[in-house]
Structure 1
Amino acid sequence: MYKKICLAGAVITLSACSQYRPGIVSQTITQTFSSQDAKIDSSKVSSVPYASMSLKVDDGPLAFIVLAWNENHIQKWLTADSKMVATQNGRIIKTLGFPDNLLTFESSTPDPLANPLIIQEGQQWKAQTQWKSDAFHAASVTSRFHWAGTQDFTIVGNTRNYRLLEEQVSSDVDGATYTQRYWVDAQTGQVVHSEQTLHPHGPVWSLTLLKPYS
């Protein structure tokens, strides 16, 4: 099992930790990957002793991020420069250290992504979100899910066929709409790749699971 590690700075602001090892994950990434587009192959992924993902925001550089903390089904991932991405069921629910940050994403009902294989065509879900992009913003959003067939996707040289789930989101902020996409393992229900827009008019965040947490 991967070690649960507590980090200084960004991680501390997200959770209190009993095991404190400042910078160990950040140092691991820095020693393995450059700050520019990360050349990610199976040998490099295997050499890092933590769960890992790749991250790309719009047309920015490809980043290698590793799992710093797993708590109450929330995974907190760290970049080499100590930015934080928190995910739950494959959905980004909070970011820290980026120019455009998601502050909260909450709902009074369970996220359908907790068990995507039982999502029904046209199923709806409501949530509330807050973000900071130059200024503080908040909105209520409504999601409608649609299964868009299957699609091949390659992760570190391994190509498999996945179910493609689309989440069509509408916001009460100026009627904005956007679509999120999730590549779902048909056997396990795990989201292995996603293209997410964290708030109305926001950039697209692409996440790919390289080594799952176990």
Structure 2
Amino acid sequence: MKLLGHFFLAASVAFLLASCSSTQTALWDTIQLGFTTPDDVTLSLEKVQAAPADLIYIRVDDQPRATMVLAFYEHDQHKWLSSDGALLTMAHGRIVRSLGFRNDLTYLGNTAEDPIRQGPAAVESGEWLRVTDWQYRQQSGYVMRSTFHEEQGAELEVLGQRFQTRLVREAVQVEKTAATFENLFWFEQSTGVLLQSRQQMAPHSPVLHITWLSEAARLLAADMDDLALSMDLL
């Protein structure tokens, strides 16, 4: 699996870089940030804004924090790559497939009904059922049932700035088993933009802590534009 991950990464990066030669060096430097290091990777707002592709922080369990880069957006899904061969495919912030992690998620069904797609306003719409396949012991056809609950007033710090968020808790039960786990999603309070999540793909999967750096940078830039406009109107 790891060899396949490295092959997929190399092929994907080669394709991506070939499509825009003027950003080759900058994009490769961005991907290099994903290498495993003994310390957390920390990026400045200016570094994120200058990056030629979107960036996320990712922490796997208690390991050092790294970055992943957005390599592709297709079929309403974002595909994130790290330089050590990991791939995450997400739909509206939900992990729908992975490669290079312990107990990879190989299939997730019924994603169109996922309340997370609609943001925090949809979390009280009832349960969400889906069928999943996992790489661990080649387990397939498991049904997972989720219920959601929103908490108000959670504060989040990203890129040195504080955001007021709406925290959504997702309680997950694997049907016909005793396995349960919890996912967390933090949405910016006024816009509904997803800024951070803590997700597991299956009961035996690592906990993935994800922060959407480029989304946060865009929100901060919009705030500065609004401030500049209000000053011009005075």
TM-score normalised according to structure 2 size: 0.76
RMSD across aligned positions (CA): 2.8
Matched positions, count: 202
Q: Are the aligned partners of 1:122 and 1:146 in contact in 2 as well (CA < 8 Å)?
A: no
Map 1:1-214 onto structure 2 (within 5 A): 9-10=7-8, 21=17, 27-32=28-33, 35-36=36-37, 37-107=40-110, 109-121=112-124, 123-133=126-136, 135-138=137-140, 139-172=142-175, 174-212=177-215
Quickly say closer, same or farther: Cα 1:13–1:197, change in 2 above 3 A: farther
Larger radius of gyration: 2
Bigger strand share: 1
Contact kept? 2:97, 2:105, Cα under 8 Å = yes
Take 1:113 and 1:120, find their aligned partners in 2: how far apart are those partners? Answer: 7
After TM superposition, the structure 1 stretch with the greater mean CA deviation from structure 2, 109-118 or 166-175, is 109-118
Contact 1:26 1:78 in 2 (8 A): no
Would the aligned equivalents of 1:181 and 1:194 in 2 still touch at CA under 8 Å? yes
Deviation string, structure 1 residues 16-35 (Cα, Å, up to 9, x no partner): xxx65369587233555653
| TM-score, length basis structure 1 | 0.83
CA distance in 1: counterparts of 2:186 and 2:89, whole angstroms:
19
Q: Which runs of 5+ in 1 are unaligned?
A: 1-7
- 1:91-113 CA-partner distances (Å, limit 9, x unpaired): 11111122331111111752111
Residue deviations 1:104-135, cap 9 Å, x none?
111175211111232243721101111113x2
Percent identical residues: 26
